[in-house]
Amino acid sequence: MSNLTSWWRAMSAKPRSRLPLRNLIYDLRRNRVSRQTVRDVFRLLFRLWSRRSGRTALSSSARAMKLLDRAIIRVGAQAFCIGPRVRCRERVSRIIDEKSIWDFLLLKSSRARIVRREAPSGRSVGAMLPIRAEDVRRRAMLRGRAPIAWITKSSVLHTIARTTAEGDLAGRIRDFLGLAHYQADDQLFEIVYPRGALTGQDVAAPTILDGGSSPVYRSCSHPDTWGRANDLRARRLGGPEAVHRPIRFTAGFKLRYLGPVKKQHDPSHRALERRDSRRRTRHDMSHLRACIVIRSSRK
């Protein structure tokens, strides 16, 4: 059995791993990713897949997903932010939790002053953190674990704020943008980008290489060029999303408090699969093989 066949069968075993397969085939069929980059990913993936397959406690599908993510990371920056270009003509925002703010963006020594400036009765949802240039870490960058940052349209968050009860704001934003990694009681903030922050930067609709094996990520094309998140609360696509490469965080960015996540909705992987209208076909693996195999020509 070839590496491709055994890996494909492992990925096809469970709903959680079948969802990334749909994203992969969707992106390849619509030329949303570079085939050369996908070849590089699978060259590394198969090298990892062929090693020690019987010496892990992970199920075959879990191992298949883990190695896909590892291969994407090892390919490096060339694998990220290569999807269709996004027309970024309006204010954008990024969602972040409080722990990440103090771990990566702001100096912990400034926390006492910033917290002291907040309302005596407690935090007010919608309030801005009073940050100064000296509060920002020297090498603070906007990025996630991968060398990209996920953003959305600020106007969408403002609309949600106007139509959602204050106590449910963080939870509704979390669900609408498919941010399943945030859990109950996480304190969420909106990073509001200054105008022109992304001038000259690549901004792209996310692809399988950005979303990796996440079962809640969904590759999607939309007329406004942005991708669309999976709404975890409703059976439909959620808010607009895009990715950009790491940029410096400065005091020019604003931090707006959104509140704690009180209600979270986490549909089962089977439910996510049922709501996905992109159907798999018996030709999908053959299409992937044709994309990643380089046939040598005879002279």
Query: What are 249-272's pLDDT values in tens digits?
Result: 999 999 999 999 998 899 999 999
> Looking at residue 154, what is its pLDDT?
97
The CA radius of gyration of the chain, in Å to the nearest whole number, is 21
User: What confidence tens digit (pLDDT) does each residue in 175-218 have?
Assistant: 999 999 999 999 999 999 999 999 999 999 999 999 999 999 99
Please count the other Cβ atoms lying within 10 Å of the Cβ belonging to residue 51.
9
Q: Which long-range contacts (CB under 8 A, 24 or more apart) does 278-283 make?
A: 278/22, 278/26, 280/18, 280/21, 280/22, 280/25
Q: How many CB atoms lie within 10 A of CB 293?
A: 10
Q: What is the pLDDT at residue 116? A: 61
Q: How far apart are CA 97 and CA 261, in angstroms?
A: 10
Mean pLDDT of 12-34: 96
- pLDDT tens per residue across span 141-181: 999 999 999 999 999 999 999 999 999 999 999 999 999 99
Contact 206, 241 (CB under 8 A): yes
pLDDT at 112: 78
How far is residue 72's CA from residue 78's CA, in Å, rounded to a whole number? Answer: 9
**How confident is the model at residue 298, as a pLDDT?**
45
| Predicted pLDDT of residue 264 | 84
| pLDDT band of 294, cuts 50, 70, 90 | low
- φ/ψ of residue 73, rounded to 5: -65, -40
Query: Over pLDDT 70: what percentage of the chain?
Result: 93
